[in-house]
C-alpha cells in the first residue's frame, strides 16, 4: 500500500477546500437569488399608473401607500405583504397616449404588478393594455358609460376592468335631478337656470335630461347658459344674464380646477347675485377652496365626497381622513381615498373571500363585493363593473351604497345638505346669503 506524503495530503486538502468553497459560494448565491425571488413572489404587488407630478397623481399614490402600510401592519393579505410600485404616465401634463401606454406596460412587464390602479387618462387604452396582459385594474376616474359598457359587450376581454370612483354620466345626471328636487322642497324655489361647459357630454347627455326632467318636477327653466370651457375666465356676463332672467337657483357644472372656479364664485359673491348656486364644481370640493376664494364660497352648495366632510358616513371615513392627514400633511381628495379603499378594503376583501390571488377567482369575488369602505357603507359593483350608487333602502346611512352627496360651504367647512337623511343625521341646515335675493321674501 502506498502512503501519501505530507505534501500530497496538503495539496489534496487544498484542492478539496477550494472546491468546497466554490460550491458553497455558488449555492449561497443561488440561495440568495432564490430567496429574493421567493420573497417577491410572496408579496402582492399593486401598481399605480398615473401622472405622478400632478396633485391628482400624488393623491392616488399616497392613498395606495398609506393603505399598504396599514394592511401590512395587520399581517397583510392571506399572510402576504402588499407592495406598491408606480410609473409616471404624464397623462395629464403631456397627454401623449404613447407615453402613457409605455408606462402602463412597464408596470405590468418590468415591475410585475399583480393588480393596477389607473388614474385619469385614456381609459380605453388602459383597458386594452391590461386586458392584453389579463391583469385586474381599478380606475379611479372614468365618467363615461362607454368604458363600463365594454365589459357588458365583450366580457371575456374586459372583465379585468373595475371602476371604483366617479359615477358615470347617467348616474350623475340622476343625482343632479334628485338633488335639485330636494333643494326645491327645502327652499320653494322653482325658477331655475343652468350654466354648463360646452363639452359634448353636456350637450349630448346633461342638457337634454335637464330640459326633459326639470319641468315635470315643477321647475321653470328661465336661463340656459353654455360657456367655452377652455377660454372663459370672466363669468360676469353669464351671471348678469342669469340675474336678468329672474333665476332663483343657478345649477352649474365646472370641470376646471383652482383659480377659474374660484373666479366664478367670487364674482357671484361680489355681485351679490340674488340666486343660490348649486352644482358640480370639481375645484370647489378641495378643502383649500375656502382660502382660494377668500371665504367667498360661503353658502355655495357643491357635489362633494365623504372625506371632505367631518361626518362619519361609515365607520372608516374619519379614520381614513385623519390617518391620511397625519401621514402626508394634507387631506385626501376623492382619487386618493378611492385608491386607498382599493388597497385597504376592496381588493383584500375579494382576495380573502376567494382564498387565492388567482385572477379568475378574484374577478368573481370582486363581482360579489359588498364591503364597507371610506366612501360607502356597502361598496358594490354593478354587472358592468361600475359603482352601484344610491340608497340601499335598508335603514342606517352607514349601510348605504355609494351616495351622491351635496354639501354647502358654511364657516369654512362643508356641511352635508343632500341626501335629506344625511342632512338630518348630521343636524345640518341649508343657509342663505346675507344679501337680498329670492329668499328675502
pLDDT in tens, 101-153: 999 999 999 999 999 999 998 899 999 999 999 999 999 988 888 999 999 99
Contacts of 1 (CB under 8 A, 6+ apart): none
Tell whether 351 is covered by a domain: yes
Residue 184 has pLDDT above 60, yes or no: yes
Distance CA 171, CA 156 (A): 25
Tell me: do 256 and 108 sit in the same domain: no
Task: Describe the strand order of the beta sheet including 413-418 as a list of residue ranges.
Answer: 220-227, 191-197, 249-254, 276-281, 301-304, 405-410, 413-418
Tell me: do 370 and 291 sit in the same domain: no
pTM: 0.85
Per-residue pLDDT reduced to its tens digit, 405-420: 999 999 999 999 999 9
**Coil vs helix vs strand at 117:** strand
Banded model confidence at residue 204, pLDDT cuts 50, 70, 90: confident
Tell whether 141 is covered by a domain: yes
Range(s) of the domain holding residue 185: 169-305+411-440
Tell me: do 347 and 420 sit in the same domain: no
Q: How far is residue 54 CA from its own chain's centroid?
A: 15
Tell whether 18 is covered by a domain: no
Q: How many domains does the chain have?
A: 2
% of the chain exceeding 90 in pLDDT: 70
Task: Describe the strand order of the beta sheet including 161-163 as a list of residue ranges.
Answer: 82-88, 44-50, 115-118, 136-139, 161-163
- What pLDDT, on the 0 to 100 scale, is given for residue 92? 77
Per-residue pLDDT reduced to its tens digit, 259-306: 778 999 999 999 999 999 999 998 898 888 999 999 999 999 999 988
Residue 374 has pLDDT above 70, yes or no: yes
Select from 288, 297, 240, 302 the least CA-distant residue to 263: 297
Tell me: do 418 and 363 sit in the same domain: no
Least-confidence region, from 9-13, 264-268, 328-332 = 9-13
Tell whether 290 is covered by a domain: yes
Residue 29 has pLDDT above 50, yes or no: no
β-sheet bridge partners, residue 227: 197
Tell me: do 326 and 353 sit in the same domain: yes
Exposure string over 51-87, b if 16+ CB within 10 A, otherwise e: bbebbbbbbbbbbbbbbbebbbeeebbeebbbbbbbb
> Looking at residues 235-262, what average pLDDT do you find?
90
Half-sphere exposure of 196 (CA within 13 A, CB side): 20
Amino acid at each position: 500500500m502506498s502512503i501519501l506524503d505530507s505534501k500530497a495530503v496538503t495539496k489534496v486538502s487544498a484542492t478539496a477546500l477550494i472546491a468546497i468553497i466554490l460550491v458553497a459560494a455558488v449555492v449561497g448565491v443561488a440561495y440568495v437569488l432564490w430567496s429574493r425571488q421567493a420573497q417577491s413572489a410572496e408579496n402582492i404587488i399593486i401598481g399605480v399608473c398615473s401622472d405622478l407630478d400632478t396633485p391628482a397623481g400624488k393623491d392616488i399614490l399616497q392613498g395606495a401607500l398609506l393603505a399598504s402600510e396599514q394592511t401590512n401592519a395587520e399581517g397583510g393579505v392571506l399572510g402576504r405583504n402588499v407592495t406598491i410600485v408606480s410609473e409616471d404616465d404624464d397623462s395629464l401634463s403631456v397627454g401623449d397616449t404613447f407615453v402613457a401606454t409605455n408606462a402602463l406596460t412597464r408596470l405590468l412587464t418590468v415591475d410585475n404588478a399583480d393588480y393596477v390602479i389607473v388614474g385619469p387618462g385614456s381609459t380605453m387604452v388602459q383597458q386594452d393594455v391590461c386586458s392584453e396582459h389579463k391583469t385586474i385594474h381599478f380606475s379611479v376616474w372614468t365618467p363615461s358609460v362607454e368604458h363600463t359598457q365594454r365589459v357588458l359587450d365583450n366580457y371575456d376581454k374586459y372583465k379585468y376592468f373595475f371602476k371604483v370612483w366617479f359615477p358615470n354620466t347617467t348616474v350623475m345626471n340622476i343625482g343632479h335631478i334628485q338633488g335639485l328636487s330636494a333643494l326645491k322642497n327645502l327652499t320653494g324655489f322653482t325658477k331655475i337656470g343652468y350654466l354648463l361647459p360646452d363639452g359634448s357630454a353636456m350637450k349630448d347627455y346633461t342638457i337634454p335630461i335637464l330640459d326633459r326632467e326639470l319641468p315635470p318636477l315643477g321647475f321653470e327653466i328661465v336661463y340656459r347658459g353654455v360657456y367655452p370651457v377652455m377660454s372663459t375666465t370672466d363669468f360676469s356676463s353669464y351671471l348678469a344674464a342669469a340675474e336678468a332672467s329672474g333665476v332663483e337657483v343657478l345649477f352649474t357644472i365646472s370641470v376646471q380646477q383652482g383659480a377659474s372656479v374660484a373666479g366664478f364664485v367670487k364674482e357671484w359673491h361680489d355681485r351679490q347675485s340674488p340666486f343660490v348656486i348649486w352644482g358640480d364644481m370639481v375645484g370647489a370640493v378641495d378643502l383649500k377652496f375656502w382660502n382660494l376664494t377668500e371665504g367667498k364660497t360661503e353658502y355655495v352648495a357643491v357635489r362633494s365626497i365623504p372625506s371632505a366632510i367631518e361626518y362619519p358616513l361609515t365607520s372608516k371615513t374619519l379614520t381614513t381622513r385623519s390617518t391620511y392627514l397625519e401621514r402626508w400633511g394634507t387631506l385626501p381628495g376623492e382619487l386618493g381615498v378611492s385608491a386607498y379603499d382599493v388597497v385597504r378594503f376592496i381588493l383584500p376583501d375579494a382576495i380573502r373571500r376567494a382564498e387565492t390571488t388567482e385572477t379568475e377567482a378574484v374577478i368573481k369575488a370582486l363581482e360579489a363585493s359588498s364591503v364597507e369602505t371610506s366612501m360607502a357603507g356597502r361598496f358594490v359593483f354593478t354587472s358592468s363593473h361600475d359603482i352601484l350608487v344610491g340608497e340601499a333602502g335598508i335603514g342606517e346611512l352607514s349601510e348605504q351604497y355609494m351616495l351622491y352627496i351635496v354639501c354647502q360651504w358654511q364657516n369654512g367647512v362643508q356641511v352635508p345638505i343632500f341626501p335629506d337623511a344625511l342632512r338630518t343625521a348630521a343636524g345640518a341646515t341649508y343657509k342663505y346669503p346675507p344679501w337680498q335675493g329670492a329668499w328675502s321674501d
